[in-house]
Amino acid sequence: MRPEDFEQEEDTFEVWPEHADAWLFFCNFCSTQWRVGMSGYTGLDYTAVLACLGCEEPEPVRRKDLFDQVRLIERGALEAMAEQREEREREAARGR
């Protein structure tokens, strides 16, 4: 991971209460669980994510709900990272 992967924008956002647990789980446990390929991040390591979920949430139904929400957050994060990568590539191409 590079510092620019974590660039903070001035925008703020709100998390709905029903999604707060999933967001907090994602922030606290998933930041080190990314799988990375030659072209960048490919997704979360679900084995590790599920192991963490098992430790944090004993109730199976609730655990599945959190996992589903984490996967949606993952999808959004991957889309945002892809957009950032494409922008860096466009900037690099202009600088040639």
Check residue 5 and give its pLDDT.
65
Q: What is the mean pLDDT of the chain?
A: 90
Q: How far apart are CA 27 and CA 48, in angstroms?
A: 14
What is the reported pLDDT for 2? 65
Give percent above pLDDT 70 in the chain.
Answer: 89
Q: What are the tens digits of pLDDT across the range 8-51?
A: 666 778 899 999 999 999 999 998 999 999 988 999 999 999 99
User: What pLDDT score does 39 carry?
Assistant: 84
**d(Cα 7, Cα 87) in Å, to the nearest integer?**
14
Mean pLDDT (whole number) for 64-91: 94
